[in-house]
Structure 1
């Protein structure tokens, strides 16, 4: 807080009584430049708005009675689907596995896995279904097959899979004393299975011995089966589940001893197939040595932070070192289970196997094997006696491998070589060939110099021409003209540059960059790949020209959402540039900048920051403030600070970038436009919206100038402007911007795209605040014609239409929309509270009774205080004899106890008082409603006075009852709409108050029972 708690509560109380459009001006005067105080009050206002209009929270809604009872859980003898359960054979954190007999389509024994009773939370169901879908996607002999799937009578998912009657892989190897070669061959089968999963777009993320079962096949050979994809992650486009599946930030996914360093960072966005390769490396380590690289028990005793540190930073010892440092008894035991002598076992482990395991266990995933297939192939090379790729490829090592594979051949060859070495004729011929080669090399160098000169001349000419009509200053027809020029230029390459590959490579690199600026990414990528091939052929892999093309290709791939390949390519450029140009060079700084941009696009914020800081520091050391790339690095760091929610530093970096560019970069340059929009967003986030508005208007005008009036970027920048104008209460300006944005969006995307619908919602919001209900309805009619089947993306608009009908007192139309909303999103508690007061207003008491019964069954155990309060309130509008009042009162009790420190506590107190009144506890009702009546919220106060009046009447105190009802009438007359005025967005509260007020009047007039 600001240090003055009373001050911010006083200001909040004053602001909340004002209409929304007047609050900004009030806070401007009251806060007097104290941004921190203003932000705190705005948070309280938002919280109040949530309480007042009952914000949406996820839930589920079914009237099926089987979903309202708690399942007792399955047991042997029960039937699930077409299976009869025989016995329980396993149990995990959230699932139970049974041995079952499937009776159709074929009779066989299977494993049936079902979620435990009580564990069927949304996240558990989502993970369970993810495993089910992951297994169903795959068809591999070493992955357990899925035969069937469904849900039990109580709604808990299950699936039927192949029964794997085997041992975990480490136990199998120990029990059968498998020798080293047999273990490696078994391991390659597992690699094949995981490679199959990766090709299907699935990561396992929990590879460990207990998830790999091995049984003996009919031919006596071991047959491994990979199971338990319970925390699998889809890496491709195939969704694993349509349930919400979220890996919480701060939750370790996997088993610590087998967990990769990127898993230990607890950022699931960083995971890819190389995560499974690390876990396979741990498994291979254990198969070879009998132990994991880090002791599991010691890891778990150390605590979470130490577990993460060890996995990320501590290098494990090599397998051969682990064996040689074991106690003698332990080493003898390991050798016994390998069916080998101790010296031989250590000797076989040392060298190639060490290299293979340690490459799989690299902390930097870019240095691991790229695929599981590559790991399996290296093991196959070891078994065949070939050189493995994991080992540094020295000539002596490769030659030694060749000799060991072909001992007899080399013995004979050595004798022949000894005879040939004696001959001087071969030496003379070799000298002559060398002289000829030198002459050819000189000619090639001379031609290369000519090509280079021609290339530089042609490139300078074309570059000067393109800069005159470049994409940053193109307009409408100019852009199409530029594309035509590029196409004609490209078509002349094969004929006119047939003998000048260096010139062609230079021009294609330039054209690739221009195509990227024009957002023609496939053309850019094709052009740059061809240029790269030409330059590698001309100058070799390690050349400066090749690094230039690699950088451009990396840019294009990152824009094409091919971040992994882009990172590999730019790292290749960085390594070569540092080798050729040294550690301190402008092009090295450029490589760091591009790497940072790629990491930012992938939301790897720590890596992005490290690379961009290196780029910025090097550019300043080399060029001071004169580098053109300096502004891009500053803007990149601004984006990083935004990702870290450090908005003030982000703003500072964006301002530095704009100051650096100054007049040297045209206002129409894409980088400058983007930086200006980023700056506007930063000042808006910090509450300085008045400062953001002119910046965003400048962005809108520049986008119109650069791209034309109907471009998608114009619609996006207009939408950003609307989002700033609405909370400022400038609804008329927001309406003007919204109408233009909607028209542009319709031309750029069509009216059904998500961006268009978001603009439409904000436009309708501006209209509703101005009470232009007819205009809002016309927009609804155009987009949601009568009788049209509504799809989920329209639910936000349907909600706005329901609000519009209600604010215009068209209760039947509002109720029809509320029914549609509930049908479309039965998990939303807000839709129940939307429908309940409408049914009361329409007098549809039977449907209201059914709705309240459903609410009790669905939300009776909710822990969310806001949901508990709102659902209890929805059920207490009218006295319902058949309602389970104790269940409703329990929700009200939970809200008032657990939410006592919430800003919305007076709402909870009103609801609690109403619940006590319905139970006939009139003194308790008075206690709670008096507290609510003393609070700052007008709706809670008005409702509290109605309950006070009825409770006093029931206690025989007629004068006090009449006084309380008079206070309610006075509050409604002064602060709430009367029966003739239009109602605002608080119409739900208004209907509840009106219903309670009518009940109180009937009670006092003797009309009630």
Structure 2
């Protein structure tokens, strides 16, 4: 092999460092991507072959004590454990590359006990290009203060003239190793990439590009927190093309080709879209355990969707879309900003529609239904299904409108969701929020298996976000529900009390937490304490809970105040008909205790029609009492066993979305028959569906007549403020 001159070392050293980090079977492919003269490509190929055989040191120039000699630009890594660099003592070497080494170090003077990572170059300090690069990294890191970016603590010049950086020592592993060791699922991997995206988003907001995003530069600590490392080839946004002379010679182009976008490998202008591409490669690798391009086929074949490789079903669809958009060949086709990437990932984790996918009736309706089945049903009863169907219909009509109308409908959907879920029931952790919403939906049917899953989900949510007050309150309520339903749960009262008080410490206006404490006091026989806690619940009630019904059942019935319990349950039914099931359960029991079997029969039919599980413990008790007293069972519902408002509304939803309007109308007639049978024809929550239906299908007189029979417009005008944001945006979008 011919002798390598000092000038060639200056030009090739960064490339050699990068090439030696690659797997041996990828190096030939990597060499093909470099925009270098053929002579330099040959030299790099020879150098890497020598390195493989252990002969590379014989080819390198020797370092001398004269740092001004331009023929000897390389410095050996003469640092050793126990040596000092500035005010720091070197303890152990973390790693070594072709240009620098990283050491664990501590301050010699002992003023600060924390350990740091010292980044120390091998090259002589007299080389202006190296000094400039180190100064650049120092300045970039000094401008970045973000929990997801390793911090710069100090910088200086060592005794031998070499510049050094003292960085935050991150106790973690590379993100790909972390996911493999923890056998992380798709959502966990996506959550780590979301953290990384937010860190890069911050850097971009400070006009800094990373330009070398890859798994070794993304460390994850034991708590699952991400730290982004190595801005050594970082660049200020707007500085121009990547291949300026100094960049080419000393490492601003020393990126990792497998993770670099086309414009970077081809020496074009690097932008925020370049970092988006690199992070897309990382996300693809975490999901598939493979790079998007097979060896030897870089950008010569289409990228396969992650779901075609990875086994997890949740990858298909939206996540495919996100990844493939990040990996578009041209920068203009990718997401416009890293913020847009992070926002879409958060939407995916919350089960919301992502912006990267064109809207369609099935897509938007399905996503809204998935989100609100968990989100809204537990909050506003059947109004959730009504709004879902209304939006599906209006979205069908929006195909004939322009893009602005479609966007307005999407905003209306979000406005409704925001209205139905209070701001305090939020968390910055999308996975914790998703677990909370799932647990809330299971509370609609508190069977023993469901309660155990609720506890598991709520515990996971509070572990991910210890400040998530509503998740603590839900955990408290679930523990107490074990006792309310006659299930075994050791220490349920203690666990419930602890969680409820934790929730109130975080947010002192949670009515459900006070109601749980009241229920716990009642289980302990402390009726005065129970009443005091329920009074606090009433004072803080936001209208979305079943506080009156719980108080009537827990305190009033248990202390023999039957008439008061019946009056309160009837009042609850009148004020919040969407929560009528709990009120009717109390009314049923109160009527039985008062000896009014006929009234009890009517109330139990209403409760069952509203979704009170027919196999619930309370229902079985009521059946037994009625059979003993009246000699017969509870009257059945004309429309058939197991038919409730919830099941009929579900039928209407499915038929309407699929365009089967005749079947939807038939289900609606059965719904009205059930309303007449139970005396609940005026429930406004359900009638909201028909108002939106009438507006969306103005040409269909059948649906308009049904809405009129519901009497909904009069209720809405009388009960809603002029600026109500629930259905008004939907109606406006549908042309009314």
TM category, shorter: 0.3 to 0.5
Larger radius of gyration: 1
TM-score w.r.t. length of structure 1: 0.30
TM-score w.r.t. length of structure 2: 0.41
